[in-house]
Structure 1
Amino acid sequence: MWLHLSLLHLSCLILCGQSQASDAAGRCRYTFTVAGPVESSCTGGSDKAAVDGMLSRLTLLESLVSRLMAGADGGMASAHEGGLQEAYSQVTRERNQLQQEKERLNGQIQDLQRRLGELSREAEQIGQAPCLQTHTSAGGEHEARPASDPPYSPGSEAYQEMKAELTEVSASHLLPEANHSFTGCGELLSVGEPVSHRKADSITGKYGAWMRDPEPQGAHYTNRTVWRIDAVGKDVRQLFAYEDMDQFSRGFPTKVLVLPEPVESTGAAVYRGSLYYQRKSSRTLIRYDLATERVAARADLPHAGFHGQYPYSWGGYTDIDLAADERGLWAIHSTSRAKGAIVVSQLDPESLEVRRSWETNIRKRTVANAFMVCGRLYTLASYAAPNTTINHVYDTATGTRRPASVPFKNRYRYNSMLDYNHAQRKLYAWDNFHMVTYDVTVRSSR
């Protein structure tokens, strides 16, 4: 705008320079002289020269105005373009900063969602842990059992929504009679594929012990009865009884016994009508009569380590592991004298006194688990490797040890319990919430 006014003023000055006078306000005042009839017929050289000069000056003025206008427009456009470029650069920088902040916040949201999911699963597992409820039996006695695992009652709708994961198992795996054709005693030759019978439905079942009595006594329980202990917890006392393998797979216990003293780890065994187990945080062994539901005997295992002194490689306070085979009842443990090497002690099944002990040179912490077959100790190399081996055998008859290489599979990669049932010729295992069995082949030799 100021440029246009300047040009107008300049034009005015130029034009005023050709006029006869100007007023006091600076405005141009033109005086025109009209030629008379005689004068108009004459060609005056001075007037023509004045007109030509004015036209020349007007032409110069127009050229000057054009140049000025072009320069002003270019300068304004250049200035305007520079301002836009700077504003665009600033907006771009802010946009990039906002994008980085958005990505950072999205990462935090994903991390919080992941942690929330983990906490929700832990809360659900804790909420599913069985709580004891007291039920009154027909005889008026109070019997404790977990609310999440009640006894089977035909027709109850609650059993239509069981949470346990089941695996279909052929009749040959369910019936102990299918393996009764095995006779004699000998060396372990092979271990079959793992067969899953049940998966625990709460965190208390991550590891535990389950078994069947190879030599049941009395009429209260048979060789079909299945026993189970969930070993996760500060005060493990519940012993679940199932009528047979079918009811066990369905998750329907017939009874829940509450032990008078808590259990340590997964080393319990059922043999000749009694449950044998290690009392928590001690080297005391307890024989619990299943028919009378009373402690029938107790004894300390001399010099045995306990509560994490000499466990298996997976831990779990597995210092004392009780086992039964064709030769009787055994304790697999270690002592300070043996300096962590496995000691095998044969026990009197009635009094729990030690009849004889064998000190091996197998370090207990270097093996994942162990079991007895025909008076021989067999050790498992790994509790987590999916394909591992039974890597050592110690024969109590000869007092000798030799390496072995019998293939073994940890299907669920956390095997915390391994025991042999000589009546069925099967291994019972607890593998990362899953209760599984293995058929074994034993070569008859003695």
Structure 2
Amino acid sequence: MRALFVVLKPLCFLALLGYCPSATIRPKEGWQVYSSAQDADGRCICTVVAPEQNLCSRDAKSRQLRQLLEKIQNMSQSIEVLNLRTQRDFQYVMKMESQMKGLRSKFRQIESNRRTLLTKNFQELKGKMNELQPLIPVLEQYKTDATLISQFKQEIRNLSLVLTAIQEEIGAYDYEELQQRVLGLEGRLRNCMNKLTCGKLMKITGPVTVKTSGTRFGAWMTDPQASPNNNKVWYMDSYTNNKIVREYKSVSDFVAGVESRTYNLPFHWAGTNHVVYNGSLYYNKYQSNIIVRYSFESGRVTTQRALESAGFHNVYPYTWGGFSDIDLMADELGLWAIYATNQNAGNIVISQLDPLTIQVLNTWNTEYSKRNAGESFMICGTLYITNSHLTGAKVYYSYSTKTSTYEYMDIPIHNQYFHMSMLDYNARDRALYGWNNGHQVLFNVTLFHIIKTDDES
């Protein structure tokens, strides 16, 4: 078995942050893949560093190569025009030379017979001079054209040197061949990205502040199950006494405050730990351990079910309180509920839920106190828990549902605005959405991936 290790680092918006994994990449099999959260228009930014580094910068080099070739072609056409005009002018020069020889002969005749021929030759000489007069500006233009041609030739020599250097750097491939290589690389990238489904959290960077609005506490989110063209944002201000969900068509509309629709939920929500998953909103009904599924398409509640034994109404909240007893979240593997029970001594319980019925599919008991957790989020079936909602917070503990094991970690998270009341992972964007003291923010996450090559045996 042969496996290839790749680090995936999502980058928010247009800020591409350099990061080089230490793993060795085989020339034809390895890829360093960096993907991102959405930008203000909902587009996903992705950068790939291919194994053959001399081809990585092909786009910029090819563009520069084409510009140089176009410039040389334009200059060659200009030189051809000047050359034709110079040949034409040269005809005038030859004619003038012949006429000047004739003038010299006339002058000799005048010298030999000044008296008899003076009057007649003077008139002929005057006529010849009048005929030669238009040639003077032609000669001046000829000199100018000759200088311009010399300048063009020198510039072409300089451009040829640059062109040669670029061809050597990119491997002397013509543009069509480079274009075919680009298409091949894009195909391999899509295949590679299809394999990037899960990974272990290695680092959190940011945040990027998307907007400042609302109260100190709230939630905002996108649907990780939505199609690539669906970039709707949902906004839920405050942790209680509210039933209004605001919808925006894109992140840019959200930033601009342009609402597309408003939903009035039938029940108040508790806390800020809601999630939108596959077109439905899942939230904790106020003063209960009931989970409500609300369909945005139909505008009504489709399912509601009690989470048995789960504490609610500030019995087992996160460190900041706010009725954050039940935390609903989604990752690559589905829908989850994070809560605590008396049976588990107030420690965190992880349950995977059926998105349609909200029935519990499986449950894991951890040994981490819910009241000592600042926030938590799921990535690839692993729960990551921060030790505080205040400054100095870090991811301190993780629990893998795949292996039913835990480990202590030390991954800092920059709490820029000093109070975190919501932190959720979005599997489509591969980013953390946060509500940080009235600021809606995004965090970059670095995940470690193991990508198997196609020719493994």
1:320 and 1:197 map into 2 onto residues whose CA distance is 26
Match for 1:215 among 225, 244, 269? 225
Structure 1 spans left out of the alignment, 5+ residues: 1-167
C-alpha contact (below 8 Å) 2:239/2:323 kept by paired residues = no
Structure 2 match to 1:184: 197
1:365 is paired with a residue of what secondary structure?
A: helix
| 1:173 corresponds to | 39
1:389-404 map, 5 Å: 389-404=394-409
Write out per-residue CA displacement over residues 145-204 of structure 1, whole angstroms, 9 at most, x where no aligned residue: xxxxxxxxxxxxxxxxxxxxxxx964863334225958221101111110011111x5xx
Unaligned segments of structure 2, at least 5 residues? 1-11, 16-37, 47-189, 452-457
* Correspondence 1:254 to 2:264: no
Q: Quick check: 1:240–1:256 contact (8 Å CA) kept in 2? A: yes
Residue in 2 aligned with 1:118? none
What is the alpha-carbon distance in structure 1 between the residues aligned to residue 284 and residue 43 of structure 2? 28
Matched-pair contact (CA < 8 Å) for 1:243–1:254: yes
Amino acid at match of 2:211: R
Return the match for 2:324 from 299, 318, 321.
318
Q: How many Å apart are 1:216 and its aligned residue? A: 2.2
Does residue 420 of the first structure (1) align with residue 425 of the second (2)?
Answer: yes
Distance apart, 1:282 and its partner CA = 0.1
Deviation by residue 1:300-346 (Cα, 9 ceiling, x = unmatched)? 00110000110001111100000000010000001110111000000
Q: Residue 405 of structure 1 corresponds to which residue in structure 2?
A: 410
CA distance, structure 2, for counterparts of residue 353 and residue 283 of structure 1: 13
The 1:289–1:207 alpha-carbon spacing in structure 2 relative to 1, beyond 3 Å, is same
The alignment partner of 1:249 has SS state of helix
SS in 1 for 2:413: strand
Q: 2:356 & 2:402 partners in 1: Cα distance? A: 23
In the aligned structure 1, how far is the partner of 2:307 from the partner of 2:256?
37
Q: Deviations over 1:88-123 (max 9, x none)?
A: xxxxxxxxxxxxxxxxxxxxxxxxxxxxxxxxxxxx
% same residue: 37
Report the residue type matching 1:431 in the other structure: N
Q: Identify which of structures 1 and 2 has the higher relative contact order when contacts are C-alpha pairs closer than 8 Å and 6+ apart.
A: 2
Write the distance in 2 (CA, Å) between the matches of 1:223 and 1:432.
28
The structural deviation recorded for 1:251 is: 1.4
* Contact 2:239/2:269 (<8 A) preserved: no
Check whether the contact 1:415–1:429 (CA below 8 A) recurs between aligned residues: yes
- 2:233: which partner in 1? 226
1:373 maps to which residue?
Answer: 379
Partner of 1:194: 207
| Cα pair 1:208 1:232 within 8 Å, conserved | yes
In structure 1, C-alpha distance between the alignment counterparts of 2:415 and 2:389, rounded to whole Å: 7
**Distance (whole Å) between structure 1 residues aligned to residue 229 and residue 263 of structure 2:** 16
SS at match of 2:206: coil
Could you tell me how far apart the structure 2 residues matched to 1:326 and 1:169 are? 21
CA contact (8 A) 1:229 1:238 kept: yes
C-alpha distance in structure 2 between counterparts of 1:186 and 1:245, whole Å? 26
Following superposition, which runs of at least 4 residues in structure 1 exceed 3 angstroms of deviation?
Answer: 168-173, 179-182
Check 1:297–1:222 CA distance in 2 against 1; reply closer, same or farther (3 A cut): farther
Q: Is residue 246 of structure 2 the alignment partner of residue 240 of structure 1?
A: yes
Which residue, 272, 275, 283 being the options, matches 1:277? 283
Counterpart secondary structure, 1:409: coil
Indicate if the aligned counterparts of 1:169 and 1:197 stay in contact, CA closer than 8 A.
no
Counterpart of 1:273 in structure 2: which amino acid?
G
Say if 2:211 is the partner of 1:344.
no
